Chain A
Amino acid sequence: MTIRTMLAASVAVACLCGPALADTSSKKIALSNNYAGNSWRQAMLTSWDKITKEAVSKGVVAAADPFTTAENQATEQAAQIQNMILQGYDAIVINAASPTALNGAIKEACDAGITVVSFDGIVTEPCAWRIAVDFKKMGESQVDYLAKKLPKGGNLLEIRGLAGVSVDDEIHAGIAAGVAKNPQFKVVGSVNGDWAQDVAQRAVAGILPSLPEVAAVVTQGGDGYGAAQAFAAAKRSTPTIVMGNREDELVWWKQQKDKDGYETMSVSIAPGVSTLAFWVAQQILDGKEVKKDLVVPFLSIDQASLEDSLKNTQKGGVANVEYSLEDAQKVIDAK
């Protein structure tokens, strides 16, 4: 790197945190998290740690402490939020156990003048900000991809998530919309995979004998590898299975790609969305006008970016991106 580019880079950095440095350096931000028991949540906490430590050491904010409740219960998280109010945080970033049961505690926080930003598990209390993923579009994008790859269409097997959870309904609605748009596809079977490889494998193995030839499998993430195993065990030809960014899924995809040029796509939310929420909270504290509902793009991997994504994904983890202040500003400014 020449001295000139270094200078230019440092000027760019200075511009980035210059105004923020002045206003939020004394502010404290807390992360209220309700669950840490799977690879996605672990990646989410690691991303938070990495990005916020850097921000704290640069003096962008005074503190950014993560808290996780011991049990995944709304009442416990409500108590945790009330404790954060007492601890004097200026902003609370929340991945909520329930979209509604924390509203009382969140109202208390807002009344105490605290900025509340929810992400992933969002809350309905109007005084809080929401960073939501467009799950419907995520489902639709799978069918759109398949329409391009298989112009003739064919039979689809749909693997759904955990029944009764809003995310499952939304992704399913997106897939249904995609199929309606592309009538050459037909959903011939649907099972619940609970976003887990073992459950998905059992469910797919159970329904396979009753199915005609399946051209493609649409999924919700965390279930693609199990589906592939079930197809292999039944000695059926492997359809195009949409993956969900988990490491085991990407490894399997890579193996197939090297073997016979297997093609598919992979899509899920990046756990690093916690860092986006952090920057959004920082921007709000900075006095920036931010609308209450923001949409975060999902992370998709295609044939070309597979190797790179796999290289950056930890064993047993999830493909991830961490967000910078710039990314956050882009999301905030997006209409």
Chain B
Amino acid sequence: MKLSSGTVRLIIPAASLVLLLAAVFYMQPRAMSYTGLNLLFNLAVPIALATIAQMLIMSVNDLDLSMGTFVSFCACVTATFLQTSPVLGILILLGAIAAYAVIGVVIHIRDLPSIVVTLGMSFVWGGLAVLILPSPGGNAPVWARWVMTAKPPLVPVAIVASILIAAVTHYIVMRSSFGVLMRGVGGNDRSVERAGWSVIGIRAATYALAGFFAILAGIALVGLTTSADANIALRYTLLSIAGVILGGGQFVGGKVSPIGAVIGALTLTLAGSFLSFMRISPDWQIGAQGAILIVVLALRLALNRLEKREKSQ
């Protein structure tokens, strides 16, 4: 049986996740339980959603450096407006999705580098978040809290949510015709255009969809923490990019994998716990986290080379 290149690209992230999980179970057998798994992975759910959002942006060859501040902003809206006056909250979040679509259009029409535009936007989102919540506070909407602390039978909610996110986005990105067009823009936007499609529309829709998933990330985060502050998710910018790359995605060419992205997010979260269980001093932890990333990426490069050699034969 010949494996497709997509499957091959998924092997490394999946294998590293399993390996890390085995190591964590070995060190901390307590984690091998319903609550244990939930505690290990529940903070990975918002990261997975943010990673999916980042992956969508990356599928059209762009990069979103405002992901962390945008998720923080959404978390602040969720903990305040969405909880006290849901209609206004939903309007604000719809406005945020529209803003994302506009960003996509501006980047396309003016042919601007997305890094610069989103970096600028990160200050806008950060400022808005501080305006909404000048000091930490707010309350999680009851339903968000309920979803994130639900106790489904057999499988903890963190795992159920991860699988659901992976399945839904896999369908959107890999199976639907919109997904094909989106990846097509990343691969070769001129040919998509020549085929009669509106690239500007596709890009706007992609950005809007990314905004939607980032909003879900903010809501999920507030559901876990019960309240928000303006800096709550700043790390998500880099975590989401690392998650996409770790999961087999690439910066250009529309080569992305939703399942891989979710696995990447889980792996990153697990790596943090792993290092904490190892009792590695905090001075070394960032370095060690980086080392894990480099090892996985090196493995992937080696596999890519192998793949290429097979093709040329």
Q: Which A residues fall within an 8 A CB radius of B?
A: 36, 65, 67-71, 73-76, 78-80, 82-83, 85-88, 98-105, 107-108, 112, 124-125, 164, 166
Contact = CB atoms under 8 A, between A and B. Distances in A.
A101 B36 contact: no
Given A73-B235, A100-B137, A83 B225 contact: no
Nearest to A108: B39
Contact of A101 (B232, B272, B273): B232
Interface string B7-48: 000000000000000000000101100011001101100000
A103 B39 contact: no
Contacts of A82: 39-40, 42-43
Contact of A76 (B130, B225, B272, B279): B272
B286 A70 contact: yes
Contact of A74 (B31, B232, B282): B232
A83 B30 CA distance: 11
A104 B224 contact: yes
A68 B231 CA distance: 19
Contacts, number: 95
Contacts of B137: 99-100
B277 A83 contact: yes
Nearest to A169: B135
B235 A101 contact: no
Interface residues of B, number: 38
Give 10 closest A-B pairs by Cβ, nearest first. A100-B227, A70-B285, A68-B282, A82-B39, A103-B226, A104-B225, A100-B136, A70-B286, A104-B224, A104-B226
Contacts of B136: 98-101
A112 B43 CA distance: 17
A302 to B, nearest CB: 34
A83 B276 contact: yes
A65 B278 CA distance: 13
Interface in B222-277: 223-229, 231-235, 269, 272-273, 276-277
Contacts of B39: 82-83, 85-86, 108
Contacts of A83: 39, 273, 276-277
Interface of B: 28, 30-31, 35-36, 39-40, 42-43, 130, 134-138, 221, 223-229, 231-235, 269, 272-273, 276-277, 279, 282, 285-286, 289
**Listed residue (A74, A86, A112) with the most chain B CB atoms within 10 angstroms of its CB:** A86
A75 B42 CA distance: 11
Given A82-B40, A86-B30, A74 B273 contact: no
A80 B276 contact: yes
A166 B40 contact: no
A108 B28 CA distance: 18
B225 A164 contact: no
A101 B228 contact: yes
Contacts of A164: 130, 134-135
**Listed residue (A73, A80, A101) with the most chain B CB atoms within 10 angstroms of its CB:** A101
A104 B43 CA distance: 11
26 contacts: A67-B276, A69-B282, A71-B235, A73-B234, A73-B235, A74-B229, A75-B232, A78-B43, A79-B43, A79-B272, A79-B273, A82-B39, A83-B39, A83-B276, A85-B39, A87-B28, A99-B136, A100-B138, A100-B228, A100-B229, A103-B226, A104-B225, A105-B224, A105-B225, A164-B130, A164-B134
